[in-house]
């Protein structure tokens, strides 16, 4: 009896290792195809990875990873309905598998952005709020990942005309991102601009102008090719100044 049990255990372990290899092969193929913009192949390989992972890892981190990857393939193509379904499954698996909080937050944020792109900000709002809460619990209120979640939350709040809430979210995010350096300063500049647009909606023009100027200065100072983003900031500042002269 003990020998039979041992043989079963060894056989199961071997099958698990084999399945993991197959899952990895499908995942690698899906990612390569997606990079090459061969999306039909990426979808097929991604779906195969999910199916293989499901056959043996019902609530595992490996299954969560395959679902998240397939969701990203759909999201990249703007197939948001398909992405929503997959991301919801990824979140459920992450919860069941007791995944690391950072991974769960990433899946929750992906779902929230998908709902936002489906023009369903009212549904996206509590999902973004959950992502922020998870990020804060996992890494503290001043972590860069919290800032990323907050800018998403502010997007949903803005689309729901909750401008005062969006302003608060973005000021919190900007307080974190103001410490960024190098190319990461472009993220800071993007949040500055997002906040400036919210302030414009609130008719807080006195506060808006310095943010537009800071956006331009930050983009000009950031390393690397930033011509398009600098031109955008310059255009927005010019438009603001034109409107200011007629107010």
pLDDT bin (cut points 50, 70, 90) of residue 19 is low
Task: Give the separation between CA 1 and CA 120, rounded to whole angstroms.
Answer: 58
DSSP states of 145-178: HHHHHHHHHHHHHHHTT-HHHHHHHHHHHHHHHT
In whole angstroms, what is the distance from residue 170 CA to residue 95 CA?
28
Q: Categorize the per-residue pLDDT at 18 as very low, low, confident or very high, splitting at 50, 70 and 90.
A: low
Say whether pLDDT at 6 is over 60: no
Q: What is the percent of the chain where pLDDT is above 90?
A: 80
Whole-angstrom distance, CA of residue 213 vs CA of residue 53: 50
Distance between terminal CA atoms of the chain? 89
The sign of the torsion formed by the CA atoms of 98, 99, 103, 107 equals: negative
**Could you tell me where the beta strands, DSSP code E, fall in 51-146?**
none
| Radius of gyration (C-alpha) of the chain in whole angstroms | 22
Question: Which range, of 14-28, 104-118, 130-144, averages the lowest pLDDT?
Answer: 14-28
Length of the chain: 247
What single DSSP character describes residue 125?
Answer: H
CA nearest 138: which of 111, 113, 164, 109? 109
| pLDDT per position as a tens digit, 167-211 | 999 999 999 999 998 889 999 999 999 999 999 999 999 999 999
Q: How confident is the model at residue 222 (pLDDT cuts 50, 70, 90)?
A: confident
Cα three-residue angle 130-131-137, rounded to 5 degrees: 90
Query: Is the pLDDT reported for residue 228 higher than 80?
Result: yes
In this prediction, residue 51 carries a pLDDT of 94
Which residues, in sequence order, are CB contacts of 188 under 8 Å at separation 6+?
Answer: 174, 177, 178, 180, 218
- Using CA atoms, how far apart are residues 23 and 46, in angstroms rounded to an integer? 9
Q: What percent of the chain has pLDDT over 70?
A: 91
pLDDT in tens, 110-128: 999 999 999 999 999 999 9
**pLDDT band at residue 82 under the 50/70/90 scheme:** very high
CA angle, residues 160, 215, 235, in degrees to nearest 5? 85
Model pTM above 0.85: yes
């Amino acid at each position: 009896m003990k020998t039979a049990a041992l043989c079963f255990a060894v056989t199961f372990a071997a099958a698990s290792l084999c399945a993991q290899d197959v899952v990895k092969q499908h995942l690698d193929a899906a990612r390569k195809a997606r990079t090459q913009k061969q999306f039909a192949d990426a979808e097929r390989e991604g779906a195969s990875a999910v199916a293989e992972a499901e056959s043996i890892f019902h609530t595992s981190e490996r299954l969560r990873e395959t679902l998240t990857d397939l969701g990203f393939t759909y999201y990249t193509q703007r197939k948001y309905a398909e992405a929503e379904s997959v991301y919801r499954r990824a979140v459920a698996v992450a919860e069941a598998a007791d995944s690391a909080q950072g991974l769960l937050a990433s899946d929750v944020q992906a779902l929230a952005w998908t709902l936002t792109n489906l023009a369903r900000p009212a549904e996206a709002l509590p999902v973004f709020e959950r992502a922020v809460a998870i990020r804060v619990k996992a890494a503290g209120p001043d972590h860069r990942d919290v800032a990323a979640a907050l800018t998403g939350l502010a997007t949903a709040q803005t689309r729901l005309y909750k401008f005062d809430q969006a302003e608060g979210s973005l000021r919190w995010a900007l307080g974190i991102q103001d410490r960024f350096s190098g190319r990461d300063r472009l993220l800071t500049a993007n949040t500055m601009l997002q906040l400036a647009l919210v302030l414009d909606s609130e008719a807080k023009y006195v506060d808006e102008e310095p943010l537009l100027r800071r956006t331009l200065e930050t983009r000009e100072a950031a390393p690397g090719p930033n011509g398009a983003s600098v031109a955008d900031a310059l255009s927005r500042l010019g438009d603001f100044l034109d409107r200011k002269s007629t107010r």
